[in-house]
Amino acid sequence: MADEKLSNNLLQELKRGTLTLSVLLMSGKPTYGYSLVTELQDAGINVEQNTLYPLLRRLESQGLLQSSWDTGESRPRKYYSITDDGRITVSRLGEEWRRINRVMSRMMNEEEGK
Amino acid sequence: MKIVEQYLRAIGSKLPWKSRKDITEELRSLLIDQIEATYGEEPTEDEVKSAISEFGAPGKVAARYKGDRQVIAPGLADLYFMIMAIMAGAMLIAFTTMFIVEVLQDWPAGANLARRILIVPLNAFSAWLSGVGALTIVFIVMSRISRRTVDLEEDWKVEDLKDVQVGNKVESRLESIFSIAFLLVLIMLMNLYPSIVTLAENTFAKSGLPLGHRIVIEVFRRYVGVLTVLWAAGIVIRVLVLQKGEKGMGLLWTEIGLSVAEASLAGIMLADRNLYADTGGWIGFKVIFLIVLVVNLAEIGGGLFRIVRERIVGKETH
């Protein structure tokens, strides 16, 4: 029987790679951390807040997102939006994602057909 | 909400200083967003506690922001542990040598001898610990520099391989390890026990061969500081050779520079009349200084020849 812990670790690794692309895709308009969590969950991607919030800062430090504090609301919120470099990266990652998706689908179909 | 502020303070205390304020403020906004979305605008204290508990332990939350911070870069870890092991061996050799020298001089017996035997590993361990401390600082600095300049995952190109030496150009690992251990032993012995020079002279004199002169230890001590710097530089060069597995042009020139310094010092020591007593000939440490001078001159010549050869070979292959 497959080790459940090992499977969970592998699943996490699989999701980690897709999370960056998901976040960049969702950052077309300025968005703040908590709203991004709910938007991702609504889209079907369950992400832990403690994984997402540091990721936003990392993507900002890599120049793929930019941020600004909005102090006009009842409390200050930090909004993130995609940069030009981020858009180029999304385009590249998206292209690769589609290719991997095609290849993986074909491989899984072949496996299921056996 | 005091409990929220306490929670944020607990996280903040584990965050890097420069980003602490910004991360804490962002977390405050995010945490309150979550509390309000889950429990409304006026949550009870238990609900706030529940939300905080769900957010995670302060240490874990802070760790996610800090990422994986490594004291020593993974690429340097093997070298670090190897030098640690070399240092352990060198310290043991140095203190055992000093013990033998002391025994030959004083001929201790009984409890005194047992005490001296017991002190050998203790002193070696203590000196090793100090050395490991210094080594760790050096490797932390090297790790910081290498992290800034080289990213093995992202910056690597096949073209980088053109400088990698193969075949008989690869430097001997064993030779480097032996040199590091030997230089460490020399540094330890000469700094802790410079009168070993006199002991060597006495041993030589007992053989019946004529000793032409004797070293004046007080004068010799003045040279030990300079010698230590040169030997330490030699260790650094050998460590770099171990790390790279080859001698690039930079290392070759540095090694030639060190040989020039060592040859010059040997020349100065040979010419320094205050360094010798009972001058009646060359037999004694003068011969050793002369050998050091000649060996270093040979190394300068060899190094220059190697540079010229590699330049010619480099031009031919391009």
My answer on whether B133 and B163 are in the same domain is no
Specify the higher pLDDT residue, A11 or B311: A11
What distance in Å separates the CA atoms of residue B139 and residue B83, rounded to the nearest whole number? 11
My answer on whether B258 and B316 are in the same domain is yes
My answer on whether B125 and B229 are in the same domain is no
* A114 to A104, A109, A110, A111: CA distances (angstroms): 16, 9, 7, 5
Residue-wise DSSP of A11-68: HHHHHHHHHHHHHHHHTSS-EEHHHHHHHHHHTT----HHHHHHHHHHHHHTTSEEEE
- The amino acid at B251: L
Q: Could you tell me if B27 lies within 8 Å of chain A, comparing CB atoms?
A: yes
My answer on whether B208 and B267 are in the same domain is yes
My answer on whether B12 and B151 are in the same domain is no
Residues from chain A that touch B26, judged by Cβ atoms under 8 A, are: 33, 53, 78
- The amino acid at A8: N
Select from B122, B156, B190 the last residue of a domain: B156
What distance in Å separates the CA atoms of residue B61 and residue B24, rounded to the nearest whole number? 11
Do the domain assignments include residue B141?
yes
Tally of structural domains, chain B: 3
My answer on whether B315 and B247 are in the same domain is yes
Write down the pLDDT at residue A42: 92
Residue-wise pLDDT tens for chain B (318 aa)?
788 899 999 998 888 888 888 899 999 998 998 898 888 888 898 999 998 998 888 888 888 887 766 788 877 888 889 889 989 998 898 889 888 877 877 787 788 888 888 989 998 999 899 889 988 998 888 888 766 544 444 455 666 656 555 555 556 778 888 889 899 888 988 888 888 888 888 888 877 778 888 899 999 999 999 999 999 999 988 888 887 777 778 888 999 999 999 999 999 999 998 888 876 778 888 899 999 999 999 999 999 998 888 777 766 655
pLDDT band at A106 (very low <50, low <70, confident <90, very high): very high
Domain A15-113, what architecture? Orthogonal Bundle (1.10)
List the domain range (segments joined by +) for residue B123: 70-156
Domain ranges of chain A: 15-113
Residue B33 to residue A32, Cβ atoms within 8 A: yes
All residues at 6 or more sequence positions from B219 whose CB lies less than 8 Å from its CB, including other chains: B272, B274, B275
Do the domain assignments include residue B190?
no
Write down the pLDDT at residue B152: 44
My answer on whether B82 and B40 are in the same domain is no
Select from B66, B96, B114 the last residue of a domain: B66
Partner residue facing A78 (CB), from B29, B32, B65: B29
Residue B29 to residue A76, Cβ atoms within 8 A: yes
Do the domain assignments include residue B310?
yes
Residue A33 to residue B67, Cβ atoms within 8 A: no
Alpha-carbon gap: A76 to the closest alpha carbon of chain B (Å): 7
My answer on whether B207 and B317 are in the same domain is yes
Tens digit of each residue's pLDDT (9 = 90 or more) over A29-68: 999 998 999 999 999 988 888 889 999 999 998 999 999 9
My answer on whether B139 and B97 are in the same domain is yes
Select from B35, B66, B97 the last residue of a domain: B66
Query: In the 8-state DSSP scheme, what is residue B154?
Result: T
